[in-house]
């Protein structure tokens, strides 16, 4: 069709791409003398009424969307039995092409693109639409580096009950949500899952699952957990890994329920990566300029209380750079050399405060700082106590407070390394394969202990069987740094070592 002029206006000049339903051409709008992209439906597809309806649906749906991160629809029509849609022409490359060209993206760049894709999705979701085919092939990166979401070809207006029709699996299996792969009803949370897989691919450089057939890949999305992104990309922050984990939960109820919540956590993770790097790079700069400077929480999921307070960007630049240099060189407190000569680090998904002997919580707002990958400048702190034996907690055989970390899968670590700015405390370590147990007595016997802990305590662990939850139970506190005569625990980093 090169050279064809549709409706006397759009001259097709070159083929940009083709799919099962249509071909996209670079065209010249002869009326306004500008380049546009024209999607022309294949003639054999246009003869199928259901496919024609889907094509027209895309034009109507996207025409309602106006957002910098969504490719705009300019016009639509039919000419000589060829239905077509006219889009703005985005000069650049697809996100898939970029990943294929450079491999795994810089974490800041990946998070920035994910935020922009999510922003585009927000507009669609606010109009009660679900895209159903989020993949890097459907994300265009323009000349300024901005991500734009396109191809709403299988999007659907949600029905009154908030679900799409069942019985037909649509979408690309590399990114398909489990419920979509099974032909079950889908909603906005299915888009969240697919975006989580796209973020994984940007971080790692490849999709999480491979099989001999598309059905095989789809079934892996249904039955298998995504490979641990931090094992594939060890330098990635826990904040970023936690976003991937929650977005790709198999159960839709355990995912982000709204894209806005996903954007908040993506922005927080981007701040973490920027603070660790000492500066923002590329697209991350413009994205962060649009992010309110207030501290955010990484809300976690499935009942865990994972709060992430970020002060990195508010610190003086010199202080950030100094801390990062110390961490990178291994010369800071504990430094990067603390794990030299040891086994591999167990991937952790979260940290949670634990206070069954008190009011049920122990500064949950800061507990995720114990696993944020920054062992020198951020820390979880307990409440202040009048004695080193935690006066005010319930009387019992083992008064105290604690925090527990959750491994991504059951494991049998040989050691726990705990960094603290308030050394001198005593603690026991407990482990459980399920739960986490609500009462201390339900954790069983301790698997490790430390007395008069140093600023980098190495606690030997002796597990009889694999566990997933690891409780650090403090039964003697240290003098508080900020209040004379009072006692407190501060933990800046927790690691499990195989």
Beta bridge partners of 26: 14, 37
Between vectors from CA 457 to CA 456 and to CA 459, what angle results, nearest 5°?
A: 150
Nearest to 478 by CA among 387, 398, 359, 394: 387
14 token code pair: 């070159």
CA distances for 39 relative to 17, 47, 59, angstroms: 9, 16, 10
- Backbone phi, then psi, for 14, in 5-degree steps? -160, 150
What distance in Å separates the CA atoms of residue 386 and residue 168, rounded to the nearest whole number? 63
Helices 188-204, 95-102: axis angle to 10 degrees equals: 20
All residues at 6 or more sequence positions from 79 whose CB lies less than 8 Å from its CB, including other chains: 6, 7
**Cβ density class 419-429: b for 16+ within 10 Å, e for less:** bbebebbbbbb
Using CA atoms, how far apart are residues 42 and 352, in angstroms rounded to an integer? 54
What is the 3-state composition of the chain as percent helix, strand, coil, each rounded to the nearest 5?
30, 25, 45
Note whether 58 and 157 are within 8 A (CB). no
Region of residue 424 (phi > 0: left; psi between -120 and 50: alpha; otherwise: beta): left
Q: What is the DSSP string of 358-418?
A: TTS-S-GGGGGGGGSS-TTT--EE---BSSTT-BTBPPSSS--EEEEEEEEEEE--SEEEE
Q: Give the residue among 469, 483, 241, 255 at the shortest CA–CA distance from 372.
A: 241
Distance in angstroms (rounded) separating the CA atoms of residues 278 and 69 = 27
| Token representation of residue 289 | 């300029």
Nearest residue to 217 via CA among 169, 164, 256: 169
Phi, psi of 299 (to 5 degrees): -70, -15
To the query of whether residue 133 is one of the catalytic residues in this protein, the response is yes
CB 89 within 8 A of CB 26: yes
The dihedral of CA 465, 469, 470, 474: what is its sign?
A: negative
Active-site residue among 75, 133, 228, 493? 133
Positions marked active-site: 133
């Amino acid at each position: 069709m090169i050279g064809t002029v549709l409706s006397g206006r759009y001259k097709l000049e070159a083929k940009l791409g083709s799919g099962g339903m249509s071909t996209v051409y670079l065209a010249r709008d002869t009326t306004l003398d500008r380049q546009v992209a024209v999607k022309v439906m294949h003639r054999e597809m246009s003869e199928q009424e259901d496919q024609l309806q889907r094509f027209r649906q895309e034009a109507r749906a996207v025409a309602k969307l106006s957002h910098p991160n969504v490719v705009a629809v300019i016009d639509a029509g039919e000419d000589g039995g060829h239905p077509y849609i006219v889009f703005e022409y985005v000069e650049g490359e697809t996100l898939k092409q970029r990943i294929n060209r450079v491999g795994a993206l810089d974490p800041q760049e990946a998070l920035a693109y994910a935020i922009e894709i999510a922003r585009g999705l927000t507009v669609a979701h606010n109009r009660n639409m679900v895209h159903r085919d989020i993949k890097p092939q459907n994300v265009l990166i323009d000349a300024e580096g901005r991500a734009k979401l396109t191809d709403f070809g299988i999007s659907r207006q949600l029905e009154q009950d908030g679900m799409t029709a069942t019985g037909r699996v649509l979408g690309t299996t590399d990114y398909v949500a489990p419920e979509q792969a099974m032909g079950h009803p889908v909603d906005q949370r299915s888009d969240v899952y697919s975006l989580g897989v796209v973020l994984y691919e940007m971080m790692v450089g490849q999709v999480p699952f491979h099989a001999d057939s598309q059905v095989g890949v789809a079934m892996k999305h249904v039955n298998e957990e995504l490979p641990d992104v931090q094992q594939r990309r060890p330098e990635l922050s826990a904040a970023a890994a936690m976003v991937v984990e929650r977005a790709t939960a198999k159960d839709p109820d355990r995912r982000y329920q709204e894209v806005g919540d996903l954007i908040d956590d993506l922005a927080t993770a981007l701040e973490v990566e920027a603070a660790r790097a000492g500066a923002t790079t590329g697209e991350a700069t413009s994205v962060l300029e649009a992010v309110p400077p207030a501290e955010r929480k990484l809300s976690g999921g499935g009942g865990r209380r994972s709060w992430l307070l970020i002060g990195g960007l508010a610190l003086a630049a010199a202080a950030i750079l100094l801390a990062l240099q110390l961490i990178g060189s291994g010369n800071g407190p504990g430094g990067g050399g603390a794990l030299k000569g040891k086994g591999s680090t167990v991937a952790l998904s979260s940290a949670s405060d634990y206070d069954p002997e008190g009011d049920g919580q122990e500064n949950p707002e800061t507990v995720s700082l114990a696993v944020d990958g920054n062992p020198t400048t951020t820390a979880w702190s307990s409440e202040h106590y009048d004695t080193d034996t935690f006066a005010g907690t319930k009387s019992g055989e083992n008064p105290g407070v604690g925090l527990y970390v959750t491994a991504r899968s059951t494991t049998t670590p040989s050691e726990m390394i705990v960094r603290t700015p308030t050394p001198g405390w005593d603690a026991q370590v407990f482990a459980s394969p399920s739960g986490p147990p609500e009462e201390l007595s339900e954790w069983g016997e301790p698997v490790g202990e430390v007395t008069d802990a140093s600023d980098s305590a190495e606690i030997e662990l002796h597990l009889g069987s694999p566990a997933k939850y690891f409780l650090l139970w403090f039964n003697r506190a240290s003098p508080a740094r900020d209040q004379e005569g009072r006692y407190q625990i501060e933990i800046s980093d927790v690691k499990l070592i195989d």
